[in-house]
Homo-oligomer: A and B are copies of this chain.
Amino acid sequence: MNTFGRLFRISVFGESHGDRVGVTIDGCPPGIALDMGDFVNDLSRRKSGAKGTTPRIESDEPEIVSGVFNGFTAGSPITILFANKNTRSTDYNFTHKSRPGHADFVANRKFNGFNDPRGGGHFSGRLTLALVAAGVLAKKILKGISINATLKQAGGMDNIEEAIDKAMLQGDSIGGLVECIISGLPVGLGEPFFDSVESLISHAVFAIPAIKGIEFGSGFRAAEMFGSEHNDPFVDEYGKTKSNYAGGINGGITNGNDIVFRVAVKPTSSISKPQETFDFDNKKSTTLKIKGRHDACIALRVPVVLEAVAAIVLTDLLLVHHSTQPFALKD
């Protein structure tokens, strides 16, 4: 459902044009310093307003409702809210003409017509604000571990700005490729089988709207490689490897080398160009012209969200890792 994590557990809630969106973070260790300033950088990286992003501008100030006391996490659940102010719901009245690529159709069917359809409702990218806020806290817990995601390509081109300009001119949108690199992790995070590092990261990553694929290390290239080429030779006693086709993970467990993964982001589904769709009320094909305000390249805003979910997963795995350490030391 809308909850994720075993020991460090986040729950998201809210709708795009509802009152507020928010997140509750349970299981955060006490004593982590946290103030408003901690959120500024990541929230502004996620924010729209730059060329290629939606002109809907929100102030996105986090309101901490619980779980922080005298500037430190208190051990109790931390709830953070964000107000939705700059909404124009009249732009989004498409219940009978479900927007292609969006969740309008499935949300209507799944929730029997009771869902909030405005701006995609609960399925909106606005909910990624909740993920980024939780990520800010997770990154603070992961002291000494660096997590960096960057947009490597947009519309298949390295020259990202040019690609976006071209798409905007045509009232169209483009996808992108984002890479994330994580350094400084200890050996041994992750669990065999269902709590493998790849399982948990991919689980969380596909909660981000618009992601179509994920690959670790060599990724899809691995399908074309020889084993003699793909195997990463160990070169020191700490597990450092010569190459890193494994992407820092063996058997689902971190091996101390950088975790590397890449995701494919689809082009924003909302475009200004007219589109074919089906009129579900009148049961006939029709043409849809979306007004609203959209990102030409939603991938621009994905890196900070990707870092956030990676940080959330790794914090959870780090806490799980700690749980058995006292036994390891003793025996």
Is B1 a contact partner of A191 (Cβ separation < 8 A)?
yes
User: How many residues of A are counted as interface, with CB atoms below 8 angstroms from the partner's CB atoms?
Assistant: 156
Q: Is A48 an interface position by the 8 A CB rule?
A: no
Q: Which of A148-195 contact B (CB under 8 A)?
A: 153-156, 167, 170, 172-177, 187-188, 191-195
User: Knowing A66-B18, A275-B231, A278-B237 touch, does A1 contact B29 (C-beta < 8 A)?
Assistant: no
- A65 to B79 Cα, complex, angstroms: 13
Specify the chain B residue showing the minimal Cβ separation from A112.
B328
Top 4 A-B pairs, shortest CB-CB distance: A103-B251, A213-B215, A156-B224, A75-B111
User: Knowing A31-B331, A213-B214 touch, does A266 contact B105 (C-beta < 8 A)?
Assistant: no
Q: Is A217 an interface position by the 8 A CB rule?
A: yes
Q: Which of A1-57 contact B (CB under 8 A)?
A: 1-4, 6-7, 9, 11-15, 18-22, 24, 26-27, 29-32
Is A320 a contact partner of B66 (Cβ separation < 8 A)?
no
Specify the chain B residue showing the minimal Cβ separation from A218.
B212
Binary contact track A215-237/B, C-beta < 8 Å → 1, others 0: 11111111111111111111111
- A325 to B324 Cα, complex, angstroms: 11
Is A2 a contact partner of B193 (Cβ separation < 8 A)?
yes
Is B199 a contact partner of A207 (Cβ separation < 8 A)?
yes
Is A30 a contact partner of B216 (Cβ separation < 8 A)?
no
Q: Kindly list chain B residues whose C-beta atoms are within 8 Å of the C-beta of A232.
A: 100-101
Copies in the complex: 4
Sample of 21 A–B contacts (CB below 8 Å)? A6-B6, A13-B67, A20-B66, A22-B65, A69-B114, A69-B116, A100-B232, A105-B234, A106-B254, A109-B187, A110-B188, A173-B226, A174-B227, A202-B203, A207-B252, A220-B264, A222-B264, A223-B264, A231-B269, A231-B271, A233-B276
Is A11 a contact partner of B14 (Cβ separation < 8 A)?
no
Is A9 a contact partner of B1 (Cβ separation < 8 A)?
yes
Is B224 a contact partner of A155 (Cβ separation < 8 A)?
yes
Q: Nearest-CB distance from A222 to chain B (Å)?
A: 4
Q: Kindly list chain B residues whose C-beta atoms are within 8 Å of the C-beta of A7.
A: 6-7, 320, 323
Q: Is A87 an interface position by the 8 A CB rule?
A: no
Q: Nearest-CB distance from A292 to chain B (Å)?
A: 13
Q: Kindly list chain B residues whose C-beta atoms are within 8 Å of the C-beta of A98.
A: 234
Specify the chain B residue showing the minimal Cβ separation from A103.
B251
- A298 to B320 Cα, complex, angstroms: 31
Q: Is A88 an interface position by the 8 A CB rule?
A: no
Q: Kindly list chain B residues whose C-beta atoms are within 8 Å of the C-beta of A323.
A: 7, 319-320, 322-323
